[in-house]
Chain A
Amino acid sequence: MGIALNLQEARKVYPNGTEALRGIDLVIQEGEAIGLIGPNAAGKTTLAKLVVGLLEPTSGRIELWGSRFGQLPRSMKEKIGFLPEGGSPFESLTVEENIIFWEKLYGISKIRGEEALKEWGLWEFRKKRAKTLSQGMKRRLMIAQVTLHQPSLLVMDEPTSSLDPVVRRTTVDLLRGFANSERTLLITSHDLFDVERICTRIVILRRGLIVAQGSMEELQRKLGATQQVRVETSVPIPEGLRESLEKRFGIKPLAANELLFPTGHNRGELIRFLVESGVDINLVEEKKETLEDIYIKMVKEDEER
């Protein structure tokens, strides 16, 4: 598989002088699912727009399948799907007509359009004008539109915002399916839980720069192996035992009957030690750091610097 997307030193300065991206280097292989996260105004939307040719880089290079956007043949441009952040369907058309427009544009069969309407729960609304739909239904219609032609590169700016839980799940499932195929996916999101479920690689953007990237495991490792084990005892840990725990294992209990220690420790030895000292154990659980934990830590560390 080749490289789908290659950004080299991509910078973007808006006409009013705002430097939204300050040199992005990013290589995305075909088949990867990238989650772009970062605080507000980090430059996520700008990056997404640059990738799909809505904006041009002020300097640096952006290549899709080895060519600059301007040089891509029409047939390749038709393999891209983009869901903008603030966009909308054509509101004076009906739901059905909106889909027909994209069918005509891509030369797709009517049957595919009908499938999409059903798949996204829009079938019964098909004769309604798009302006009478709720925000979430509009969003569904837009997702149906941008996935209608089954693009090889799908870029979505906050795909799950304003969706109800059921449709959100459908969307996440669809995107996971997408992520498991040979297609390439780039999404931006503030919903880190969704990103964690969908993406194979996560890119954290802050003030126009990539501050970290990698798979979940890599990000966890980079932040100092904070995967932890939590032990809950049935009785409060006696004072004497606390001291020897600290001496032997270097652990301070979290609460009277709660211990937290990094997975690097010999967990069997510690548990045996506790049991032999007459402390029964209620619960042993692994506490994995979520993307949210990592993200918040990362952004905070960054701010402190």
Chain B
Amino acid sequence: MRGVSAVFWKELRSFYGFGWMAWLGLFVTLALGPLLSLEMGATGFLVTSLWGIFGGVYLLETISFYYERTQGSFLMLLSSPLTVGEIFLGKYLAIFLVAYLTQLIALAISACVIWSTFAVLPPPSLLPMLFITIPIYGFVFMELYSLAYALLGNVSYLWLVMVFIIPFLLSPSQIMPIINSIISSPALPIVLGILLALLLFFVVSKISKERMVIVLS
């Protein structure tokens, strides 16, 4: 646990210290929410939160990996007594925390925008999705990302995935039936999500240090 909390602390600290480009990126992620909300009413509100967490996780994890790889500090982490699982868990928790806070701010802004434009508040039935389901899948996404990184050694493939996902996220007619079914019965997706997150973490922690060393060099 000491190891995980050291990595968590270090990761948070380095977000604190990174440049304006990254913060601009995060800000754009934030601002996108309210803009979409204006277009699409309450659906936009959901899209916002999806965008917030996936976009935030994607961005922060990319930056974290990019810096550690180009600077060579990942090698220092790997040559410490930390296990691969601990390194990733520490990173995940920090990245997730920041991405989730980003999402909460985006949600608050979106709620204000919706309320002032349509004079309605999102229905309470959305809450489990916003506060449980989406964060869990955000975590799953983050695990998939680092797994792709460790296995392929190159995450540019992930852009391809994003190219397919983004139009889908932005298209209410496709996304609404799915969202409605998740809203009406939230338990199954939540349980599935948790199982998936645990399974992926198990797989991630089985990656050998050698694999990481060779991928990173």
With contact pairs A14-B214, A88-B73, A91-B71 given, residues A54 and B6 touching in the complex (Cβ less than 8 Å): no
With contact pairs A56-B210, A142-B76 given, residues A129 and B6 touching in the complex (Cβ less than 8 Å): no
Flag whether A15 is at the interface (Cβ < 8 A): yes
Flag whether B9 is at the interface (Cβ < 8 A): yes
Flag whether A175 is at the interface (Cβ < 8 A): no
* A-chain residues with CB within 8 Å of residue B2 when the two chains form the complex: 104-105, 107
Task: Annotate A131-152 by CB proximity to B: 1 below 8 A, 0 otherwise.
Answer: 1000000000010010000000
Binds A, one of B13-21, B41-49, B119-127, B170-178: B13-21
Verify B76–A88 contact, CB threshold 8 A. yes
A92 CA to B70 CA, complexed, in Å: 12
A89 CA to B71 CA, complexed, in Å: 8
Instruction: Tell me whether chain B's interface is mostly helix, strand or loop, or mixed.
Output: helix
Verify B76–A145 contact, CB threshold 8 A. yes
* B-chain residues with CB within 8 Å of residue A104 when the two chains form the complex: 2, 5-6, 9
Partner of B81, one of A77, A86, A89: A77
With contact pairs A107-B2, A129-B17 given, residues A90 and B214 touching in the complex (Cβ less than 8 Å): no
* B-chain residues with CB within 8 Å of residue A236 when the two chains form the complex: none
Flag whether B179 is at the interface (Cβ < 8 A): no
Task: Annotate B112-145 by CB proximity to A: 1 below 8 A, 0 otherwise.
Answer: 0000000000000000000000000000000000
With contact pairs A93-B14, A93-B17 given, residues A87 and B214 touching in the complex (Cβ less than 8 Å): no
Verify A90–B210 contact, CB threshold 8 A. no
Return the chain A residue nearest B3 by Cβ. A105
Return the chain A residue nearest B209 by Cβ. A54
Return the chain A residue nearest B213 by Cβ. A54
For chain B, the count of residues having a C-beta within 8 Å of the partner chain is 27
Return the chain A residue nearest B68 by Cβ. A90
Flag whether A80 is at the interface (Cβ < 8 A): yes
A145 CA to B208 CA, complexed, in Å: 24
Flag whether B206 is at the interface (Cβ < 8 A): no
Return the chain A residue nearest B76 by Cβ. A87
A136 CA to B67 CA, complexed, in Å: 20
Return the chain B residue nearest A129 by Cβ. B17
Verify A54–B13 contact, CB threshold 8 A. no
Task: Annotate A118-130 by CB proximity to B: 1 below 8 A, 0 otherwise.
Answer: 0000000000010
- Given known contacts A55-B213, A82-B79, what 10 new A-B pairs fall within 8 Å (CB)? A54-B75, A56-B210, A87-B73, A88-B71, A90-B71, A91-B67, A91-B73, A92-B17, A92-B18, A129-B17
| Residues on A facing B (Cβ under 8 Å) | 14-15, 49, 52-56, 74, 77-78, 80, 82, 84, 86-94, 97, 101-102, 104-105, 107, 129, 131, 142, 145
